Chain A
Amino acid sequence: MNLRGVAAIYRFEMARWRRTLWQSLVAPVITTALYFLVFGSAIGSRMSDMAGIDYGSFIVPGLILLSVLTQSISNASFGIYFPKFTGTIYEILSAPLSPFETVSAYVGAAATKSVILALVTLLTATLFVDVEVQHPALMLLFLVLIALGFCLLGFFIGLLANNFEQLQFVPLLVVTPLTFLGGVFYSVSALAEPWRTVTLVNPIIYLVSGYRWTFYGVADVPLGASILGMMLTILVPLAAITWIFRTGYKLKN
């Protein structure tokens, strides 16, 4: 295994992140803090509890995931698309690195950024609302799994993308709406039928529900379904990436 090669890419990606810290960390944290301020402190104080939890506290896990999902896709897709765009991808392709090592380095770096972002966002949330984490180890585990899954999805998008607009399409027009409709601001039980059933088609609901369970012990869907959702979030893009590296599609042709 070429661990030095993996470390070189990982360090390179983290250095790029540090160079753009305002854009990649400060801006999303401030945006999420505004959600806490508006929906948590201002509007939340006038709203009734959600699933027995203070509304401001209820939205914290979902808002963290909103930020993690979009940033995971953006970081990972940009990480691999930019070398394709500038042409420096030749170095990666000609190095003695296996596809697994290459993906591990890029996705590992992107997931690291997402986990740091989530933890900073969580700390920021405690400034505005009361936050309880009943299962801290599982909270971290789920966070890592979800970040990995969406970084893999981002990496896949970066491999396929032909321009910068395509990079933004999925996080802005697919993931963000699905996350907003995925139980970030409300419990599924608060919806009337048929919307309560329809919303279960949204895969994000399983992630938000599972992640919120690690905080407050309440969930909209069974925990097993959430774990299955996390596994699929990892396995589906992983299979697609494996196919791209095997065939060279959009990469070596």
Chain B
Amino acid sequence: MNVLEIENLRKVYAGGFEALKGIDLTIRKGEIFALLGPNGAGKTSLISIVCGIVTKSGGTVRVHGHDIESDYRAAREHVGLVPQELTTDAFETVWDTVRFTRGLFGKPGDDAYLEDLLKRLTLWDKRKSRMMELSGGMKRRVMIAKALSHEPDILFLDEPTAGVDVELRRDMWELVRSLRSGGTTIILTTHYIDEAEEMADRVGVIRKGEIVALGEKDELMRRMGRKTLKIFLETPLNAIPPSLSDWDVHLDDDGSTLCYDFDGHAEESGIPRLMRRLDESDIAWKDLTTRQSSLEDIFVTLVNEEKQA
């Protein structure tokens, strides 16, 4: 079942900048979806439109089948947003600000739920503290508490771990997993590829307002990922010998490592023939290893394609 359906979504800002160029995307119930992309790719524009913060220039967005414009009340009730910036009212207490957000979404007061929420986020002891008295990490938790205060079943996390320390980052990951296990659909944008690799079920890569890669994380890594054979040579080479021109090889580490990129799913990897050719060419080697490309490698490749384009 799809909880979010985006069709041909476009956004052109007043200055003429085209942030989104016809995005098509569906999000399934209960999944963790990571939207990756470099700065200015359109991630925040996409989230902001779905949440009602920015007006779209074209296309349709439906949340649980409710159009975000014609049926915005029903659509927004399902959505919680944790924005990238720590935007809080400095003079409000944690308890008041969370209650305020719940009220905004038209939910009746439920102190028991909010108490449980704050306890899950280890904020209960800070409930009487004013926002200005909290650390950055605590503020980030409050932002999550506010986003969850009206019990949404879709949670947008815009760069949730930007600028937080390693420990808090791990805590955030745990929190996201526990939310998903409770039935919440999570859509997160991130710069940290390892974050997506660690948590996401599906991944989308957005570049210059277009989705350039989309799929199950594991499938995407299989499809777009490459394997690399690294052969550590006894004697460094100055250049690739002509005898190896049949293979996609290059030198690394000042010529002391011969790298061969190959498709790990192909019937014929070419490795046995390459090894024989090395022997025939009297190129001695002392060790070898293979490495599967990571999501980061895929991301870097896609971004590099952008630069070359």
Residues of A within 8 A of B (CB): 2-5, 7-9, 11-12, 15-16, 19, 86-88, 90-98, 248, 252-253
Contact = CB atoms under 8 A, between A and B. Distances in A.
Give the 7 A-B residue pairs with the shortest CB-CB distance, closest first: A8-B103, A87-B87, A96-B73, A95-B104, A248-B55, A94-B51, A2-B106
Contacts of A15: 96
Nearest to A7: B103
Interface size bracket, B side:
20 to 34
B104 A252 contact: no
B101 A4 contact: no
A93 B53 contact: yes
Nearest to A1: B106
Interface of B: 13-14, 51-55, 72-74, 76-77, 79, 81, 83, 85, 87-91, 96, 100-108, 146
Given A2-B73, A90-B83, A252-B53, 14 more contacts: A4-B106, A5-B106, A15-B96, A16-B91, A86-B87, A87-B87, A90-B51, A93-B53, A94-B53, A95-B105, A95-B106, A96-B74, A96-B106, A253-B55
Contacts of A3: 106
A97 B13 CA distance: 24
22 contacts: A2-B73, A2-B105, A2-B106, A5-B103, A5-B105, A7-B103, A8-B100, A8-B103, A9-B104, A87-B87, A88-B89, A90-B81, A90-B83, A92-B104, A93-B52, A94-B51, A94-B53, A94-B76, A95-B104, A96-B77, A252-B54, A253-B14
Contacts of B91: 16, 19
B54 A4 contact: no
A20 to B, nearest CB: 10
Contacts of B81: 90, 94
Contact of A253 (B13, B90, B96): B13
A248 B52 CA distance: 11
A98 B70 CA distance: 11
A134 to B, nearest CB: 42
Given A96-B76, A96-B77, A253-B13, A87 B106 contact: no
A20 B292 CA distance: 61
A91 B106 contact: no
Contacts of B54: 248, 252-253
A96 B72 contact: yes
Contact of B100 (A12, A87, A98, A253): A12
